[in-house]
Structure 1
Amino acid sequence: MGMRLRWEVLETALLSDNWATLKKTKLRLTLSDGTTSDQWRETYDRGDGAVILPYDPVRRHVLLGRQFRWPAAYRDDPEPFLIEAAAGLLDADDPTDCIRKEAQEELGLVLSDPVFLFDLYMSPGSVTEKLHFFAAKYAAGDAQAQFGGVTSEAEEIEILDLPLDEALTMARDGRIRDAKTVILLQHAALHLMPEAHS
């Protein structure tokens, strides 16, 4: 690749170490033409995560959750209850173990064989998190719970068993606005259940 930018860390300062770590770093960037630029950058390190899309190829359904999201409410979003694929931080877990646990806690779904799809940086301008994407098959009989979430964490998640076509429409018309979920729905339409894609 043609990029020859080099960087040197000049200084790092801790801004916050509460739920995650926020640091500011002074970098000296050397561009390909030899010019240098000193810049401050902030990075938010909350660890890596995993996300899963359970899909039912027989009924052409997907299993998602709707939950309250404070950052959306903070922005005065009129609908701060976002529809999302089940996800969580890895902590010390392997991504596959993490996503099994999250699927059970958030969706009431016991998964034996989640399939790894890919991993992506979700907001590389300032957030260090890399998200590991998974999919797994489920059947109508597996999706009986109405609510999920960890009660001790005041987490309440409404479980939605939706036709894929409806979920794709919801992504197009703005009812589903979570990036990781839209990516997984598009992947499902293109690769997991392509005949459902219109």
Structure 2
Amino acid sequence: MQNSNVHIEKTEILSDNWYTLKKITFNIQRKDGTTETQSREAYDRGNGAVILLYNTTTKNIVLTRQFRMPTYLNGNPSGMLIEACAGLLDNDNPEDCIKRETEEETGYKISKVEKVFEAYMSPGSVTEILHFFIAEYSNDMKVADGGGLEHEGENIEVLELSFETALQMIDSGEIKDAKTIMLIQHIRLKGIL
């Protein structure tokens, strides 16, 4: 349902170099009935999907490690970030997207995924909604090395580690990625591993 208290007055494109950064000027009705004009910037990079692969026999999970420039600019000395496999939908439905991304990034070909929830990760400035999935994996599902697509500039390291190690890495700060922490905690809360 569209919010009738918001009226967009003007939208300006500030950048469309990588994705689209817009400045939106709008009127919003406050609780006291007065109307206020505000201006906000919103970065639109499309929607995405993320998955945590887990193995109930070995109690392992599969994560990735790759360079992330924004973390480097914000104090991460190496710029390397440990994450769950993720990608943009690119006009796919979320389930097809995450199956494709899983094979490209981790080398595991999965056929069955379970959607667990959706979440906005940075709603104050980014339009993206993420679709969160989990899936069980086994060694016989490994069809390639993974590592991402070279033509997309991806250089991804695949990490298979114990669930307990991953929990310790959250506590130590080695895992700082929100989507990854959310999925690891989901697995923990549901007693899956």
TM-score by length of 2: 0.93
2: CA distance, partners of 1:144 / 1:173 = 33
Kindly state the Cα deviation for residue 12 of structure 1 after the two structures are TM-superposed: 1.2
2: CA distance, partners of 1:38 / 1:9 = 10
- 1:113-128 correspondence to structure 2 within 5 Å: 113-128=112-127
Kindly state the Cα deviation for residue 58 of structure 1 after the two structures are TM-superposed: 1.1
Q: 2:128 is matched with which residue?
A: 129
Secondary structure in structure 2 of the residue aligned to 1:148: coil
The 10-residue stretch of structure 1 (108-117 or 7-16) with the greater mean CA deviation from structure 2: 7-16
Any stretches of 5+ residues in structure 1 without a counterpart?
none
Question: Letter of the aligned partner of 2:108 in structure 1?
Answer: L
The 10-residue stretch of structure 1 (72-81 or 53-62) with the greater mean CA deviation from structure 2: 72-81
Secondary structure in structure 2 of the residue aligned to 1:26: strand
Q: Does structure 2 conserve the Cα–Cα contact (< 8 Å) formed by 1:56 and 1:140?
A: no
Decide whether aligned partners of structure 1 residues 90 and 144 sit closer, same or farther in structure 2, where only a CA change above 3 A counts. Answer: closer
Question: Letter of the aligned partner of 1:97 in structure 2?
Answer: D
- 1:14-163 correspondence to structure 2 within 5 Å: 14-142=13-141, 148-163=147-162
**Per-residue deviation, residues 74-129 of structure 1 (Å, max 9, x unmatched):** 23421311000000000111111100110000000100101111111111001100
1: CA distance, partners of 2:39 / 2:60 = 46
2: CA distance, partners of 1:153 / 1:100 = 18
CA RMSD of aligned residues (A): 1.8
Decide whether aligned partners of structure 1 residues 5 and 175 sit closer, same or farther in structure 2, where only a CA change above 3 A counts. Answer: farther
> How many residues get paired?
191
Any stretches of 5+ residues in structure 2 without a counterpart?
none
**Per-residue deviation, residues 111-153 of structure 1 (Å, max 9, x unmatched):** 0101111111111001100000001001244458665111222
1: CA distance, partners of 2:144 / 2:39 = 48
2: CA distance, partners of 1:115 / 1:165 = 22
Decide whether aligned partners of structure 1 residues 192 and 140 sit closer, same or farther in structure 2, where only a CA change above 3 A counts. Answer: farther
TM-score by length of 1: 0.90
Question: Letter of the aligned partner of 1:45 in structure 2?
Answer: D
Q: After the TM superposition, which parts of structure 1 deviate over 6 Å for at least 4 consecutive aligned residues?
A: none
2: CA distance, partners of 1:173 / 1:143 = 30
**Per-residue deviation, residues 156-197 of structure 1 (Å, max 9, x unmatched):** 11111111111011011100010000000000111152xx5x
- 1:159-174 correspondence to structure 2 within 5 Å: 159-174=158-173
Secondary structure in structure 2 of the residue aligned to 1:111: coil
Identity %: 48
Q: Does structure 2 conserve the Cα–Cα contact (< 8 Å) formed by 1:84 and 1:178?
A: yes
The 10-residue stretch of structure 1 (4-13 or 170-179) with the greater mean CA deviation from structure 2: 4-13
